[in-house]
Amino acid sequence: MEKFTVELLVENKYGVLNRITALYAKRGYNIDSLYVHATEDASLSRMLITSTGDDYIRIQMVKQISKLYDVRQVILMTEVKIKI
């Protein structure tokens, strides 16, 4: 299993963070780190969620999060490895 990061653009409303974390909990997946910050548009927030899982877990989380009403955009971040 490898770490992966999902970047979300969500509505800046109460309960959004709870719905997203509840989705992870319902599926039995752990959140390794969570970072939320405001965007230039006060009605939106950006979230970065780091988790550990295989390809199946990554795909499922992106699909499930995309179905949530307050989520505007979901991006699965890929790790870029640089050889020196």
Spatial CB neighbours of 72, under 8 Å, sequence gap ≥ 6: 9, 10, 11, 44
Tell me if 78 sits within 8 A of 29, measured CB to CB.
no
| Band (18; pLDDT cuts 50, 70, 90) | very high
pLDDT over threshold 70, residue 81: no
Mean pLDDT of 10-32: 94
- Rounded Cα distance between 65 and 60, Å, is 8
Q: What is the residue-averaged pLDDT of the chain?
A: 91
* The predicted structure's pLDDT at residue 35: 96
Q: What is the pLDDT of residues 28-58, one digit of tens each?
A: 999 999 999 999 999 999 999 999 999 999 9
* The predicted structure's pLDDT at residue 82: 44
Mean pLDDT of 18-36: 94
